[in-house]
Amino acid sequence: MSVETIGRKVQAHFHADAQRFDAIYEEEKSAFARFVDNVWRGVVKRRLDLALQVLDPLAGKTVIDVGCGSGRYCFAYAEKGAKRVLGVDFAEGMIDLANQHNRKLALTAQCEFRTGAFPAAAGGEKFDASTAMGFFDYIADPVYIISEMRKVTRETMVMSFPKRWEWRIPIRRLRFLKSGCPLFLYTEKSIRKIMAEAGVTRYELINFDRDYVVVAHLK
């Protein structure tokens, strides 16, 4: 399957799945739904706390969130004082939700959302930090994307990669196979190879739940 075909499948999946994905961040749900979300998708919320910890302090900073989904990371960055946050995602359903939340939270002075594929949608602007969380799960060419993230980042990049060997993987694989959405998995070794090929030399690789998280320092 070509990179373009993979991209189209991922885009269609997240356009259709935007509401369900965003609901992971909502507190108001049944005890059963909370339990299922916590076991299967709890990492989605815990990754956000980790990103905030790693990027602290955010006051006065500029950040790009690649594959921003419904914008939850962007709002958290703005609430921590980031002066400009750009969220980019090629799934229109996700960006529609992000814009709705943005108006409700009154963060439009700090947060902007663009529908489009990274890197083109970033428009060549530079940022202090970049994040791509829950994103490389769906990326066929991570070396290219990380090289492009480097070009638009001055200080820090934070990226998550789902583990290949993890007890939840067989069911996750089945779920994605059924939905027709491609899924990419990583080992510590494959991540280190990708970082080397993308020219990222100074980084920490954190073993984080179902993922590995890479914090790269460019300065």
Ligand X SMILES: C[S@@+](CC[C@H](N)C(=O)[O-])C[C@H]1O[C@@H](n2cnc3c(N)ncnc32)[C@H](O)[C@@H]1O
Taking the complex as a whole, how short is the minimal distance between the CB of residue 6 and ligand X, in angstroms?
9
Residue 91 binds ligand X (CB under 6 A)? yes
Name the residue with tokens 């963060």: 107
Least distance in angstroms from the C-beta of 88 to ligand X? 6
Considering only the stretches 51-59, 66-74, 167-175, 182-190, report the one whose residues sit in contact with ligand X under the rule CB under 6 A.
66-74
Q: CB nearer to ligand X: give 33 or 202.
A: 33
Chain-centroid distance of CA 130 in Å reads 10
Q: How many CB atoms lie within 10 A of CB 115?
A: 18
User: Counting contacts by CB under 6 A, is residue 142 touching ligand X?
Assistant: no
Structure tokens at 151: 């070009």
At residue 71's C-alpha, the angle toward residues 66 and 76, to 5°, is 100
Instruction: Give the number of residues in contact with ligand X, rule: CB under 6 A.
Output: 21
Distance of alpha carbon 3 from alpha carbon 124, whole angstroms: 22
Closest CA to 70 of 27, 120, 117, 19: 19
Does the protein bind ligand X through residue 117 (CB under 6 A)? yes
In this structure, is the dihedral angle defined by the CA atoms of residues 11, 17, 23 and 24, taken in order, positive or negative? negative
Nearest CB to ligand X, comparing residues 3 and 39: 3
> Whole-number minimum distance, CB 198 to ligand X, in Å?
15
Per CB under 6 A, which region of 69-77, 99-107, 148-156, 167-175 contacts ligand X? 69-77
Q: Is 10 in the site for ligand X (CB under 6 A)?
A: yes
Which range touches ligand X (CB under 6 A), out of 52-60, 82-90, 187-195, 211-219?
82-90
CB of 172 to ligand X, least distance (A): 12
Q: Stretches 9-17, 100-108, 165-173, 189-197: which one binds ligand X (CB under 6 A)?
A: 9-17
Does 138 help bind ligand X (rule: CB under 6 A)? yes
Provide the binding-site residues for ligand X, judged by CB under 6 A: 7, 10-11, 14, 44, 67-69, 72-73, 88-91, 94, 117-118, 133-135, 138
